[in-house]
Amino acid sequence: MLDVAKVTQEKILDVGIEEGAADLTPERIQAVIRQTLASEGGARIKTYVDTCVSCGLCSDACHFYLSNNKDPRFAPAGKVKQTLREMIRRKGAVSVEFMKKASEIASTECNLCKRCAMYCPFGIDVAFLMLFVRRICHKLGITPQYIQDTANSHSATYNQMWVKDDEWIDSLLWQEEEAQEEISNLRIPLEKEGAEIMYSVIGPEPKFRAQLIYQAAVIFNVAGLDWTMPATPGWDNSDMCMYTGDNEMMARLKKAHFETAMRLKVKKIVMGECGHAFRSVYDMGNRALGWRMPPVRTVHAIEFFYELIRDGRINILQKYDKPVTIHDPCNVIRGRGLHEMLRYVTHAICAEVIEMTPNREHNYCCSAGGGVINCGPPWKMKRVDGNKVKAQQLFEAKSKGAQTCIAPCHNCHGGLEDIIHHNEIGMDLKFLGDIIYAVMEKPEHV
Amino acid sequence: MHALYNFVTGPLAWVAFILFFGGMIYQITSRTLLARAKDGVVFEYWNFYYALRSILHWICPFASTNSRRHPVLTVVTFAFHLALLAAPLFLFAHITLINEAFGLSWWFLPDGLADGFTLLVIAACIFFAVRRQIQPDVRYLSTGSDYAVLFMVAAPFVSGFWAYHQFPGYSVVTILHIVSGEILLAAIPFTRLSHMFFFPLTRGYMGSEFGGVRMARDW
Number of Cβ pairs < 8 A linking chain A and chain B? 137
| B135: chain A residues, CB-CB within 8 Å | 56
* pLDDT tens-place string over residues A84-95: 999 999 999 999
What pLDDT is attached to residue A5?
41
- Asked if A54 and B141 come within 8 Å (Cβ–Cβ), the reply is yes
DSSP A388-417: HHHHHHHHHHHHTT--EEE--SHHHHHHHH
Answer whether residue A418 shows pLDDT above 50: yes
Do the chains contact at B65 and A124, CB–CB below 8 Å?
A: no
* A contacts of B64 (beta carbons < 8 Å): 121
Of A42, A47, A360, nearest to B202 by CB-CB distance is: A47
Mean pLDDT for the stretch of residues A203-216: 95
Mean pLDDT, rounded, of chain B: 96
Q: Residue B196: what pLDDT?
A: 96
A281-291 pLDDT per residue, tens: 999 999 999 99
Is the pLDDT at A1 greater than 80? The verdict is no
**Could you give the 3-state DSSP secondary structure of residue A199?**
strand
Alpha helix locations (H) across A234-326? 241-244, 247-263, 275-279, 285-288, 301-310
CB contact under 8 A, B32 and A43: yes
Any residues with CB less than 8 A from the CB of B24 and at least 6 apart, and which?
B188, B189, B197
Spatial contact of A116 and A126, defined as CB atoms under 8 Å apart = yes
Percent of chain B with pLDDT over 90: 99
Question: pTM (2 decimals)?
Answer: 0.95
Give the pLDDT mean for B113-119. Answer: 97
Residue A446 has pLDDT above 60, yes or no: no
Residues B34-69: tens digit of each pLDDT: 999 999 999 999 999 999 999 999 999 999 999 999
User: Is A412:A367 a contact under the CB 8 Å cutoff?
Assistant: no
**Helix residue spans in A246-298 (DSSP H):** 247-263, 275-279, 285-288
Per-residue confidence band for A391, with pLDDT thresholds at 50, 70 and 90: very high
Q: Point out the least confidently predicted range of A98-102, A228-232, B6-10, B138-142.
A: B6-10
Please compute the mean of the pLDDT values over residues A168-178 and round it to a whole number: 97
What are the two backbone dihedrals, phi and then psi, of residue A429, each rounded to the nearest 5 degrees? Answer: -125, 130
Question: Which helix (H) or strand (E) is B88 found in, with range?
Answer: helix B71-89
Q: Pick B207's closest partner by Cβ from A56, A123, A334.
A: A123
CA distance B104 to chain A (A): 33
Between A47, A53, A70, which is nearest B136 by CB? Answer: A70
CA distances from A159 to A91, A134, A237, A275 (A): 37, 21, 8, 16
Read off the pLDDT of each residue in A244-248 and give the average, rounded to a whole number.
97
pLDDT in the model for residue A326: 98
- Angle (CA) B17-B21-B23 rounded to 5° is 110
**What's the mean pLDDT when you consider all of chain A?**
95
Mean pLDDT of the A104-123 span: 97
Mean pLDDT of the region A202-225: 96
